[in-house]
Amino acid sequence: MRLLCLLLIACCTLLGSAAHAARPLNRVEQVQLTSPVSGAHLSALMQLPTGTGPFAAAVLLPERGSDAHALSADNLLLTNIADQLVSQGVIVLRLHERGNNGSEGTTPATTLAERADDAIAALNFLRTQPQVDVTRLGLIGHGEGANVALLAASLPLAPTYVVAVAAAGLTGSELLANQPVMYGKVLGRDTLEAHQQHTYRLAETTAQTEAAKLRAAGSNSAQVQTYLDQQRLRLKATQRRDQEARVKHQRAMLEIVRQTPDNAQAHAILSNMLRQRYPAMAPADVQASVQAFTTPAYRSYLSFDPLPTLAQVHCPVLLLQGDDDTEVNPAANLSLLKKGLKANTRVTELRLPGLNHALQITKETAGFETPLSPSALVDIQRWLSAQR
């Protein structure tokens, strides 16, 4: 009996291995294409589902600069979206930014208009592939990539749909001025704001300690709650003042960039402003920051207004954003986007509670390892299925 069982197990293993070997696997191909306006040669990764098609297809457009960082939240978001789509029978083209992974040029020198041209070039490449259903060919972007998708959708040879995750409705200068720290991505740290956050947490802890002392001294629950409410109001007032000061400083720096076309002159003024606000800031960090502020990409984004071109977007659009997004305020930006798209009757808005800028679950551990919301991927797939 034991020998018979072993033989049966062996046969099942061989059959399973043969079936697995016979099962077609998803394919990944490195492809090259050319952006016709500039002639730039671009690299992209094409992921194909099993079968012969024709398949729906999507070009994925990243947040600026994230293409170079495999562990960035943006990159992980797009990787999860790509895997989800391919598993559902959609071809995915991951277009690499200029200056990354074999694409010509440099990211800091690439304007929004050039990125939109590159997105159209990616769509045109897919239109030449026999396994692609050209009637279901879209753009999916995150952050600035979402605005690139919307901008490309206003051009000739537009996509048949757009998924815009955390797109901006504000002008570039206003969006940057109101971000928690507009140059945080350049510095990688910010000692003044970090100190302020520590002060806020200390104030909250101190209030709770004093509340416990009041209870021990015989104060009733109403008295303790009144004390805590007063402390929270004071803390909110402090946070509001700090935020207003930060926005004022950031807006002033952006105005210097806008009004000073000469980079050397702009660098000198910006360096002085940074040193005054951050006296302990390392000279190398100051230099890296002011250089980033005056790149062609940064300057083009400062003058970018997403609204004027939205009236030319006629394809179905999904506006998707986490309610806890601190980089792109959901209420302010979604309302402006919908205003710009008001003539388009095929716009869907989804605000997802408890998710951040990269659709990660906010209450979980901070950082790129924060889990992506599975429901967000389902929402995207469900909307795409409805467009067929």
What pLDDT, on the 0 to 100 scale, is given for residue 90?
A: 94
**Per-domain residue ranges for the chain?**
25-170+306-386, 178-301
What pLDDT, on the 0 to 100 scale, is given for residue 289?
A: 85
What pLDDT, on the 0 to 100 scale, is given for residue 373?
A: 86
What pLDDT, on the 0 to 100 scale, is given for residue 69?
A: 64
What pLDDT, on the 0 to 100 scale, is given for residue 252?
A: 92
Which residues of the chain have a pLDDT value below 70?
A: 1-26, 67-71, 180-191, 193, 364-370
CATH value of 25-170+306-386 in 3.30.230.70, 3.40.50.300, 3.40.250.10, 3.40.50.1820: 3.40.50.1820
What pLDDT, on the 0 to 100 scale, is given for residue 4?
A: 36
For tokens 């490449």, the residue is 125
| pLDDT, tens digit, 9 for 90 and up, residues 259-287 | 999 999 999 999 999 888 888 778 888 88
What pLDDT, on the 0 to 100 scale, is given for residue 9?
A: 33
| pLDDT, tens digit, 9 for 90 and up, residues 100-157 | 888 998 988 899 999 999 999 999 999 999 999 999 999 999 999 999 999 999 999 9
Q: What percent of the chain has pLDDT over 70?
A: 86
What pLDDT, on the 0 to 100 scale, is given for residue 16?
A: 38
